[in-house]
Chain A
Amino acid sequence: MSVSEKEIRYVANLARLQLTEEDVENLALDMNKILGYMDLLNELDTTEIEPLEHVIEMDSRLRKDEAKPTISHEEALKNAPDADSDYFRVPKVIE
């Protein structure tokens, strides 16, 4: 399995990353090395093995359905690049 430069640009766009031509070339090299290693791992027979989603074996830890006091409105907006007195403000999303 390998990844093309076109696919790298596609994924970069989905991740909102702006890459230079050089970045794309380097990433293609890196990713193909990783995928090559995956191909090696794929040679192992894993038909009898349960998929592992988490490295730590652990049951559900559920929280009681309770609401606790939280941060203030001012604290919530404090780190925003832009906000008015009520809302976060972002560039207009639809025209």
Chain B
Amino acid sequence: MSTIAHERFEAVIGLEVHAQLLTKSKAFAPVAAIYGEAPNTQVTPLCLGHPGTLPVVNENLVRYIIKMGLATNCGIAPKSIFARKNYFYPDLPKGYQISQFDTPICHDGYVDIELEDYDKRIGVTRIHMEEDAGKSIHDQDPYNTLVDLNRAGTPLIEIVSEPDLRTPQEAYAYLTKIKQIVQYLEICDGNMEEGSLRCDANVSVRPRGREKFGTRTELKNMNSFRNVEKAIEYEIYRQIELIEGGGEVVQQTRLWDTSKMQSRPMRSKEEAHDYRYFPEPDLPPIIVTSEMLVEIKAELPELADVRQKRFVKEYGMSEVDAITITESRYLADYFESVAEYSGNAKAASNMVLSEVLRVLNEQSIDIGEFSITPQKISELIKLKEADKINSSAMQTIFNEMLNSEKTPEELAKEMNLIQVSDSGFLEELVDEIIAGNPDEVQRYKDGKKQLMGFFVGQAMKASKGKANPKMVTQMVSKKLEG
């Protein structure tokens, strides 16, 4: 397929993102919303759809979605209602999902995304509240589907974007932004692999310059950020090839198959039906008062965009470094703790950006699972600042700290890495080196100043890495230049 054909087309992409809220209890019943428990143990008669049970709205469902709305510049509806979305599936015992339909609580917002060469504003059409379904297990029993209702009724928010995205990269950047915001707000852990963040994509293509949208397909089942990017890319190519080959795009839902790296149309049986939405009679409208809004606004944390600018200003960080460190709220918190304890923001950002991030990547873990505390990293920085260790020793000690409870100073002593700053000892060492290398000494005196590195290297070697290189440099230059 030629890129020329691709150049002639433009994709139009909109994302629907579901975020599982980190509330203690379910959306409409006072039972724990926790995961990984034994099946059907976190349920109430309401979650089981028993007759005569009535829902009551969890206060944090409303507060958390308002936080999300404010963080994405949405309008907050003073009054919104719940609606029933009706369909039959075994993991939905009531026969309907409580959701919102034509009055979403948050509407008409936007988020700004950063791409490599440009920034872009992406519209957020709406954010609404709903409840999750249970879990159906099809592959454990050869004759039956097994149903676990622990998840039934746990709170979700659905964030619907405008069809403002044009490339898979923009979709990826937008999704990453949404994840970053929910994590900063601490309303969702943002883990796509575990399903606490889920994403469906609406994709169509049109010849460049044409305003009318092409026929769109809906992509589902993409369970990682990279898969969203890959699936959208695949779908854009598929649609362009179809049109170039004289065919037509059929409106359908397609499932992404991660193992084959391609999508297939959903069977018509699995397709969406007619949901017959109507106002939920069991729940009163949600009224958001201005007092409530003021209170929630005051609770909002500093978000990534603001924090990033502050890091550049307050710590003199480069913009790229600030973006990297603020990408995760917890990494940014970690950095700020190290900067505070050590009193040295520059060294703190160096340690976090090079050493800490390297270990997180190598071990594929989050900063929350990282074993070294900010206090200990700060002690290490202070050892270096006090000239007790040199940079290479700093790195050695850091690696040792990953598997040790000991303090950096204890480790430095144990590994014999405390820098020698005893001038008598160093003086003797430097004299020996000067006496042992007359050629280099002569060339240095003739103007080849780069040889300083050679002398310092010899001193480090002779002292097994413990000589204070700064003092050695001073001594050599004093002795050779008079």
**Which A positions have Cβ atoms within 8 angstroms of B?**
14, 16, 53-54, 56, 58-68, 70-73, 76-77, 79, 82, 84, 86-94
Contact with A along B384-399 (1 / 0, CB 8 A): 0000000000000000
A contact residues around B223 at 8 Å (CB): none
Contact between A63 and B40, CB atoms less than 8 A apart = no
Contact between B31 and A60, CB atoms less than 8 A apart = no
Taking the closest CB of chain A, its distance from the CB of B295, in whole angstroms, is: 13
Determine the distance from Cα of A45 to Cα of B31 in the docked complex, in whole angstroms: 46
Taking the closest CB of chain B, its distance from the CB of A85, in whole angstroms, is: 9
Contact between B145 and A76, CB atoms less than 8 A apart = no
Interface assignment of B89: CB less than 8 Å from any CB of chain A: yes
B contact residues around A66 at 8 Å (CB): 24-25, 30
Determine the distance from Cα of A70 to Cα of B31 in the docked complex, in whole angstroms: 7
Taking the closest CB of chain A, its distance from the CB of B462, in whole angstroms, is: 66
Q: Is the interface of B mostly helix, strand, loop or mixed?
A: loop
Partner of B146 from the list A67, A73, A79, A88 (CB cut-off 8 Å) is A88
Partner of A73 from the list B38, B86, B147 (CB cut-off 8 Å) is B38
Partner of A89 from the list B31, B56, B144, B281 (CB cut-off 8 Å) is B144
| Closest chain A residue, CB of each to CB of B279 | A53
Contact between A84 and B146, CB atoms less than 8 A apart = yes
Partner of A53 from the list B89, B285, B287 (CB cut-off 8 Å) is B285
Determine the distance from Cα of A77 to Cα of B41 in the docked complex, in whole angstroms: 10
Determine the distance from Cα of A82 to Cα of B141 in the docked complex, in whole angstroms: 13
Could you list 12 further interchain pairs (A-B, Cβ under 8 angstroms) beyond the known A65-B24, A68-B30, A90-B144? A14-B273, A61-B57, A63-B56, A63-B57, A67-B24, A70-B32, A70-B42, A70-B44, A77-B40, A87-B39, A92-B138, A93-B90
Contact between A89 and B274, CB atoms less than 8 A apart = no
Count of interface residues, chain B, beta-carbon cutoff 8 Å: 49
Contact between B57 and A60, CB atoms less than 8 A apart = yes
**Which B positions have Cβ atoms within 8 angstroms of A?**
23-25, 30-33, 38-45, 48, 50, 56-60, 62, 81, 86, 88-90, 136-138, 141, 143-149, 270, 273-274, 276, 279, 281, 284-287
Contact between A68 and B31, CB atoms less than 8 A apart = yes
Determine the distance from Cα of A92 to Cα of B143 in the docked complex, in whole angstroms: 6
Q: Is the interface of A mostly helix, strand, loop or mixed?
A: loop
| Closest chain A residue, CB of each to CB of B37 | A73
Determine the distance from Cα of A16 to Cα of B274 in the docked complex, in whole angstroms: 13
A contact residues around B149 at 8 Å (CB): 76, 88
Determine the distance from Cα of A94 to Cα of B90 in the docked complex, in whole angstroms: 12
A contact residues around B143 at 8 Å (CB): 92
Closest 5 CB pairs of A and B: A87-B146, A67-B32, A65-B60, A62-B59, A88-B147
Contact between A63 and B59, CB atoms less than 8 A apart = yes
Contact between A90 and B147, CB atoms less than 8 A apart = yes
A contact residues around B23 at 8 Å (CB): 65
Determine the distance from Cα of A23 to Cα of B184 in the docked complex, in whole angstroms: 57
23 sampled A-B residue pairs with Cβ under 8 A:
A14-B276, A16-B88, A54-B279, A54-B284, A59-B285, A60-B285, A61-B57, A63-B59, A64-B59, A65-B24, A67-B24, A70-B44, A73-B41, A76-B40, A82-B144, A86-B38, A87-B147, A89-B141, A91-B144, A92-B145, A93-B90, A93-B138, A94-B138
Contact between A60 and B62, CB atoms less than 8 A apart = yes
Determine the distance from Cα of A84 to Cα of B144 in the docked complex, in whole angstroms: 10
| Closest chain B residue, CB of each to CB of A58 | B284
